[in-house]
Amino acid sequence: MQEALTEELIELCHKLGSTSQDLAILGEGNVSGKAGEDYFLVKASGHSMGNISAAGFSRVKFAPILTALDGPDLSDTETKNLLSSCRVDPEVDPQPSVEAFMHAYLLSLEGIGYVGHTHPTPLISLLSVDGCEEIAGLRLFPDEIVCCGPATAFVPYVDPGLPLARAIRSSVEAFIAKFGMVPKTIWLQNHGLIAPAKSIRDVESATYMGEKSARAWLGALSTGKDLVPMTQQAIDRIHTRPDEHFRQKLI
């Protein structure tokens, strides 16, 4: 199972990390996959998604990472030491990304098996605009609802690592309380996009459509004219239509 998961994550990284996609360059972004109840695989620190190999992933134990979310604040050194100690085999597994905290939390949610985190250029532009939190709750076109959900969870900028994971947890819990579902997309202000999902395909579709959505918003805003986002009634209709649920499984 671990070998198959590693191959899946390598393929996902190569797709999301391709320079033609403009989703992540150099060491940007990370992905993860749940290997079982005890541990998960996550991109190791410093590796490029575009050319990553099996050696670029680390196996990380869930329990100590999730426990840290409810513990005291950690210094940079304490964070590094904790991440190092959480590896399944310190002799084999490289140092995991500092975002292992948020991956552990999201992978612990019901129905989530994979997480993709990218830094799409258009979205970073949008996430640097005043009012981006309000935009996260709006929709411009139907396929955005199908692939990215009825709204996007929003997280104000915080320091990467444990503080970010805690902020993500707070935002996701509020989203679940409101919509009764885990968000398909999460926007990190001045930072990027997270797509937690049941399958690799769903991570890809949410990421690609999230990037398209950002470009659509930037284009609409650049006109200087009044925006006409979809009404809540239209959003709810698309979100609950059986034919859209069927189509979602195919794309």
pLDDT tens-digit map of 175-205: 999 999 999 999 999 999 999 999 999 999 9
Tracing tokens 């949008």 back to the chain, one arrives at 126
Segments making up each domain of the chain, as ranges: 2-250
HSE-up (13 A, CA, CB side) for residue 226: 1
Which residues have CB under 8 Å from 40's CB, separation 6+?
Answer: 32, 33, 34, 59, 60, 62, 103, 104, 107
Q: What CATH architecture does domain 2-250 belong to?
A: 3-Layer(aba) Sandwich (3.40)
Bigger pLDDT: 182 vs 90: 182
pLDDT at 55 over 70: yes
Q: What is the pTM of this model?
A: 0.94
Taking residues 243-250, report their average pLDDT: 54
Exposure class string for 70-87: b at 16+ Cβ within 10 A, else e: eeeebeeeebeebbeebb
Exposed (0-12), middle (13-18) or buried (19+): which is 16, by Cβ within 10 Å? buried
What is the chain's mean pLDDT, rounded? 93
Per the DSSP assignment, residues forming a β-bridge with 193 are 118, 187
Q: CB neighbours (10 Å) of residue 157?
A: 13
Q: Are residues 171 and 186 in contact, defined by beta-carbon separation less than 8 angstroms?
A: yes
Of the pLDDT bands very low, low, confident and very high (cuts 50, 70, 90), residue 248 is: low
CB 194, CB 157: distance < 8 Å: no
C-beta separation of 69 from 105 below 8 A: yes
Q: Distance (Å, rounded) from C-alpha 197 to C-alpha 161? A: 21
Which H or E run includes 121? helix 121-126
Residue type, 41: L
Residue 152 has pLDDT above 70, yes or no: yes
